[in-house]
């Protein structure tokens, strides 16, 4: 590991919770079929002083796709409203331990806040260890957030289409899909209507759950082993994607734990790609998956 870990421990946060430069962010987000309300849960109990980062509000709300990266001025406005400066030490957590926190960590990084971390074990571990929680809402004062947007890290559909037309693309870029293996293989339906299951030609499947043990990332040696076993060269450029862009940054976080800076994410991910009938999608047999009713043409 050649770089600083992107994680802080619960003990570190307990000791530094009242430090003036520390800001704590609850990034909990649930899939629609989980039937859970993350904001309501935050209101019931959160780490003292934590503010709630709403992935669907601090986003490009003009897009038909969910939680797309916000324009930098919008991000700066919404995050400044939460009392967070780009120079703060930002500690991000979610309730399960490691799910949506990685997406918010990535959001802050691509907006120029480099001193941000994920709480190892998340809220569940914090509570299990007996650290305090509260239902008192945070009341931060608005502060300026200077967004320095690394737009090259946010990959769009047109770029993916161009890359797929590039000869010998696998020698230049790796497309890594972090969806569950049954969805990648086209053997299980996608949760969103009008979206085909299957995979993008040339892509590699590494389910995000393979990178996690319990409520945290696997140990570095195991991470490296599982990444390589999937057919990924961690030293080669890659683009991460998933169902809708939430879990793809878990791979970025895992590589950061290994000292590797790999922050490219296809923001629209599968929700965008497979909803377009003229984007190629392959099934378990390697043959094209037929278009579905309700999908669109680009």
- 125 and 226 housed in the same domain: no
pLDDT of residue 192: 85
Last residue of a domain, one of 97, 128, 149: 149
The string of pLDDT tens digits covering residues 142-179 is 999 999 999 999 999 999 999 888 877 767 789 999 99
The string of pLDDT tens digits covering residues 89-98 is 999 999 999 9
pTM over 0.85: yes
Task: Compute φ and ψ for 119, nearest 5 degrees.
Answer: -75, 120
Spatial neighbors of 78 by CB under 8 A, at least 6 apart, are: 57, 58, 70
Q: In the structure, what pLDDT confidence band is assigned to residue 256 with cuts at 50, 70 and 90?
A: very high
Which CATH number goes with the domain that contains 44? 3.40.250.10
- 60 and 186 housed in the same domain: no
Helix (H) or strand (E) holding 123: helix 122-128
- 88 and 165 housed in the same domain: no
Last residue of a domain, one of 100, 115, 149: 149
The string of pLDDT tens digits covering residues 216-235 is 999 999 999 999 999 999 99
298 has a pLDDT exceeding 50: no
Mean pLDDT on 20-26: 98
> What is the DSSP-derived secondary structure letter of residue 271?
H
Mean pLDDT on 177-203: 93
> What is the DSSP-derived secondary structure letter of residue 254?
H
The upper half-sphere exposure of residue 199, i.e. CA atoms within 13 Å in the direction of its Cβ, equals 23
Spatial neighbors of 256 by CB under 8 A, at least 6 apart, are: 3, 5, 6, 262
Catalytic center residues:
242
Please check whether residue 285 is in contact with residue 185, taking contact to mean a CB–CB distance below 8 angstroms.
no
Residue-range definition of the domain harbouring residue 111:
7-149
Last residue of a domain, one of 105, 121, 149: 149
């Amino acid at each position: 590991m050649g770089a600083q870990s992107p994680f802080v421990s619960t003990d570190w946060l307990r000791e530094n919770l009242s430090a003036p430069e520390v800001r704590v962010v609850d990034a909990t987000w649930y899939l629609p079929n989980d039937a859970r309300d993350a904001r309501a849960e935050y209101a019931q109990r959160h780490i003292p002083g934590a503010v709630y980062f709403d992935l669907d509000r601090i986003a490009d709300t003009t897009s038909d796709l969910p939680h797309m990266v916000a324009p930098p001025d919008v991000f700066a406005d919404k995050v400044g409203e939460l009392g967070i400066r780009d120079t703060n030490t930002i500690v991000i957590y979610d309730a399960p331990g490691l799910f949506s926190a990685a997406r918010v960590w990535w959001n802050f990084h691509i907006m120029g806040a480099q001193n941000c971390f994920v709480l190892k074990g998340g809220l569940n571990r914090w509570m299990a260890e007996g650290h305090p929680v509260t239902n008192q809402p945070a009341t931060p004062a608005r502060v300026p957030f200077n967004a320095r947007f690394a737009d090259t890290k946010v990959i769009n559909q047109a770029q993916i289409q161009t890359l797929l037309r590039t000869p010998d693309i696998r020698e230049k870029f790796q497309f890594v899909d972090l969806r569950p293996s049954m969805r990648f293989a086209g053997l299980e339906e996608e949760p969103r209507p009008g979206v085909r299951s299957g995979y993008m030609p040339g892509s590699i499947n590494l389910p995000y759950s393979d990178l996690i043990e319990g409520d945290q990332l696997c140990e570095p040696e195991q991470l490296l082993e599982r990444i390589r076993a999937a057919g990924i060269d961690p030293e080669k450029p890659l683009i991460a994607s998933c169902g809708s862009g939430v879990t793809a940054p878990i791979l970025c976080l895992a590589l950061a734990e290994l000292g590797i800076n790999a922050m490219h994410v296809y923001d629209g991910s599968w929700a965008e790609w497979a909803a377009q009938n003229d984007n190629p999608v392959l099934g378990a047999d390697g043959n094209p998956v037929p278009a579905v009713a309700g999908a669109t043409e680009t």
